[in-house]
Amino acid sequence: MTDVVETETRLPPPRPGGLRGFASDWASDQRTFKNVSWGKAMMWIFLLSDTFVFGCFLLAYMSARMSTSVPWPNPSEVFALHIGGQNVPLILIAIMTFVLISSSGTMAMAVNYGYRRDRRKTALLMLLTAIFGAAFVGMQAFEWTKLISEGVRPWGNPWGAAQFGSTFFMITGFHGTHVTIGVIFLLIVARKVWRGDFDTQKRGFFTSRKGHYEIVEITGLYWHFVDLVWVFIFAFFYLW
């Protein structure tokens, strides 16, 4: 009898799973996200808000494309590159997609090594992720330069509906900004991991808090989100 009481006081009762667990977590009049730290929960909620931002951009693009009476420029031809005497459709965009997916792969492995407290591998994989990200932004700058030199402007272009330029610069520009911020974020955290801040419990410069390897996962959430947004931009803007 006493044993039962002791185990009950020491361990919290196992939380129910499934829909019952969902209902009890939200109805418990306590913290809702039971095994998620505030940092991770807030990153998820920020990403949710960012989802709405990009959702609205893609919606604006859809409305512009559906409501114009002028033909929409064919992205397959607009984004073709002239390689080896022939036009290869969308090739740069395809390479950018593969680069961003690779960066997501290295990021996922960095998170994994972070939780194994493998300082060196985590920092190197994050650095590799940042290099992939920077390469992506570089290719995007090349793409913008090419389109601008061909006469694409936010108010018009040589091939059709004027809204093409404005939606293109808005959507890819905002996404590129996210990638750039992600690269900076990655480099800052990678430096901290490399220095061993999370092993020596060094306090942060800005918040004076002790860091955890969890920040690697939070950075990872942001980075995977950037990749996720690109999946939708690739499908709706470039392929549609």
Partner 1 sequence: MAQPAAHTEHQEHPIRLYLVVWGLLFVLSLFSYMIDYIGLHGYLRWSLILLFMMLKAGLIVAIFMHMAWERLALIYAIVLPPLMVLVFVAMMVSESHYVLLSRLTFFGGPQ
Q: Contacts with partner 1: how many residues (CB under 8 A)? A: 65
Q: Is 199 in the site for partner 1 (CB under 8 A)?
A: no
Q: Is 69 in the site for partner 1 (CB under 8 A)?
A: yes
Contact 169, 237 (CB under 8 A): no
Indicate which single residue of 76, 87, 177, 201 sits in contact with partner 1 (rule: CB under 8 A). 76
Residue 101 identity (one-letter amino acid): I
Residue 98 identity (one-letter amino acid): F
Least distance in angstroms from the C-beta of 2 to partner 1: 25
Stretch that binds partner 1, among 2-10, 59-67, 140-148, 194-202 (CB under 8 A): 59-67
Indicate which single residue of 72, 81, 92, 94 sits in contact with partner 1 (rule: CB under 8 A). 94
Contact 164, 73 (CB under 8 A): yes
Q: Is 208 in the site for partner 1 (CB under 8 A)?
A: no
Q: Other C-beta atoms within 10 Å of 47: how many? A: 16
Query: Which region, left, alpha or beta, applies to residue 85 given φ > 0 means left and ψ of -120 to 50 means alpha?
Result: left
Q: Is 22 in the site for partner 1 (CB under 8 A)?
A: yes
Instruction: Output 26 or 142, the one with its CB closest to partner 1.
Output: 26
Stretch that binds partner 1, among 104-112, 144-152, 171-179, 191-199 (CB under 8 A): 104-112
- Dist. CA 218–CA 229, nearest whole Å: 17
Reduce the DSSP state of residue 153 to 3 states and report it: strand
Instruction: Output 78 or 190, the one with its CB closest to partner 1.
Output: 78
Least distance in angstroms from the C-beta of 101 to partner 1: 5
Q: Is 214 in the site for partner 1 (CB under 8 A)?
A: yes
**69 phi, psi to nearest 5 deg:** -90, 0
Q: Is 146 in the site for partner 1 (CB under 8 A)?
A: no
- Residue 61, judged by CB atoms within 10 A of its CB (0-12, 13-18, 19+), counts as buried
Going by C-alpha positions, the residue among 7, 198, 171 that lies closest to residue 113 is 198
Stretch that binds partner 1, among 98-106, 132-140, 166-174, 191-199 (CB under 8 A): 98-106
Q: What is the token pair recorded at 100? A: 């961003």
Q: Please, what is the Cα angle at 68 between 65 and 74, to 5 degrees? A: 50
In the chain, what is the greatest distance between 2 CA atoms, to the nearest angstrom?
Answer: 84
Site residues for partner 1 per CB under 8 A = 15, 17-19, 21-22, 25-26, 32-37, 40-41, 44-45, 47-48, 51-52, 55-56, 59, 62-63, 66-70, 76, 89-90, 94, 97-98, 101-102, 104-105, 107-109, 111-112, 115-116, 212, 214, 217, 220-221, 224-225, 227-228, 231-232, 234-235, 238-240
